[in-house]
Chains A and B, each alone.
Chain A
Amino acid sequence: MQTAFPDRALTTPISEGAITGVGVGLAVAGNRPMVEIMFGDFMTLTVDQIVSNAAKFYHMYNQAVTCPVVVRTPMGGRRGYGPTHSQSLERLFLGIDNCLVLSPNALIDIPRQLGAIRRIETPAIVFENKVDYTMRPYKVPEYYKVEIGSAEFPTVAVRPERVEPTVTLVSYGGMSRILADALLRIFEETDLVPELIVPISLHPIDLGPIVESANRTGMLLAIEEGPTFAAFGAEVLAQVSEHAARPIQLGRVGAQPMPVPSVPELEDMALPSVGRVIETLRGMKKV
């Protein structure tokens, strides 16, 4: 990008707050800037710019100005980078008024997922997963198909083609690809037919596809790479409880609530795995 656009792709100092603020200023002046934070762990240093500036301006200044700044950053572990380079901090950024939170995945091509970002009128944070950068093309399991919904940032569904699903799995980002690759194994080891619902917009939530699936299956498990306390899965469960047409059996799987260690075996145990999903589903079935 720097070769093609030398005056528009800028090398910056290591100053997350300032470069996010510069993006905010460019957006206010009528541009469509994109700020890149190299590791999502350091999104903590951008918070004042996002919360007190970008997300506030439109309402605070009586709709006189919009601030469509995009902040993109990779999150996630499974690379042995240790406690300050492996976190999934999405939950700290969910629910900021007027701030869109997006999380693309490695299930369908990116332009289909994020094409609408050229048209947004609010700030947006795009949480990518660093393992997704290393993915081969997604091979849809036999008897499954991939669909997208019609929202501006569409929800992706990986659905069984010939039978009715019996459990709804809700996940996003890097974790969604791990699950999407393991749907047949989950079926074989639980006797449940999983349907995977993968929102790209985490805030606001595209709730329709999730509730629609839960109403059909009666069982929903939310899986995310970060810890579950006050996180995306918690919000999904709360909203499904409010809006489902029938009682739904609900569960969550996420990381252990501790820093992600570098020791490979401990990192594997700290982060959610297909094994833990299967174990949790078996437990839910017995109830």
Chain B
Amino acid sequence: MPFDAVRLADAAAATGPDVVLAFAADAANAAVMRQALLVRAVETSLLDLFGKGKLHGTIHTCVGQELTGVTIGANMHRDDFITSNHRCHGHFIAATGNWRGLIDEIVGNVDGVCAGIGSSQHLYARNFMSNGQQGGLLPVAAGIALDRKHRGSDGIAISFMGEGTLGEGIFYETMNVDSLWSLPHLIVLENNFYSQSTPQAQSVAGSIAGRAAAFGLTVRESSTWNPAELATTAAAAMRDVRETGRPGFLVVRTYRLNPHSKGDDSRDAEELAWFGARDPLNVVLASNNAHRAHYEDLLREVEDHIQISLTKPRLSPTRYFTDKLPRTGSSGWTKVEAASHDTRYVQQ
């Protein structure tokens, strides 16, 4: 097994299938499990559709990482706002539940959540926004957090980022502002150990948690391999930010079972198999009949919607090709006084 996989294995080995199965069997966790399975059903169906040449553009799926998004989604309040990145499908479903609108968006029809304009990585809803840059929405989330603070709302901003974004300076600028201004902003870092195809050992120096701690954010760590601990930790992180009005940082170790996008995977096959066998949803689907039956129902439901989605019309060009820029074009002139103010002062 290659070096990186061995190192990562420490994380997964700390828990075993019993921990995952106990979580899945507890009725109190049914909603989270069902939401995670829904995300997986949508993602695998989209990959399948892509393989058949039915999708235009690209997608970045979160197969293997589903529990992070749905755990956060389970603790959201009405005034919370999520910003996300290129790998946003799971986060979107967790925040909105609108998986049909997501499929329509990616298929590219007019019923998509953004009428098909943005597709996979540019989604918007009342409480959700994703964009394709690395870290570009982090300060935007800080601005939304500032809005919530000024309004005296209990809403918080939650940003998902990958550890690949640790290379972007805007992450550090944002944490500094978050902390200085005491903004209710929770940054959730999904650490899947690869930046597209670059292993973490070649892209991240020093400590990930230490970076946020240095700015005064409250740091918590968990992983998708222990769903119960993840649920407790994520709930505590969100509650803290909500109650103290201070920023937080939650690191979730996880593993992406599919390529970054589609064909760009150079990871070791043995490593992929190792993590595939320990993937929490795979473990549940292999041993929990009720969840497996539900998952099969979900796959059928998703497939039914895809068939409908493929027949829906595209957005009209007259709707798209308009803008809100102020109108130019002068008709007539008015004589006016020249500038009357004396603006002289000593500049720095």
A residues near B (Cβ < 8 Å) are 7, 10, 12-13, 15, 17-31, 33, 48-49, 52-53, 56-66, 79, 97-98, 100, 106-110, 112, 116, 119-122, 130, 132-140, 145-155, 157, 201, 204-209
Contact = CB atoms under 8 A, between A and B. Distances in A.
Contacts, number: 219
Contact of A21 (B118, B139, B315, B320): B139
B131 A201 contact: no
6 contacts: A52-B133, A53-B140, A62-B114, A119-B326, A133-B345, A140-B338
A33 B146 CA distance: 12
Contacts of B52: none
Given A18-B174, A21-B142, A150-B332, A58 B344 contact: no
Contact of B339 (A61, A100, A106): A106
Contacts of B131: 52-53, 56, 60
Most buried by A among B81, B117, B177, B320: B177
A120 B326 contact: yes
Given A19-B139, A25-B140, 10 more contacts: A21-B174, A52-B132, A52-B133, A64-B114, A106-B339, A108-B337, A109-B337, A132-B343, A133-B345, A146-B337
B179 to A, nearest CB: 10
Nearest to A152: B326
Contact of B170 (A33, A48, A206): A48
B229 interface: no
Nearest to B326: A152
A152 B140 CA distance: 29
A135 B341 CA distance: 8
A124 B289 CA distance: 57
Contact of A149 (B117, B122, B319, B332): B332
Contacts of B146: 22, 25-26
B206 interface: no
A118 to B, nearest CB: 12
B147 A52 contact: no
Nearest to A116: B326
B73 to A, nearest CB: 20
B335 interface: yes
Nearest to B180: A13
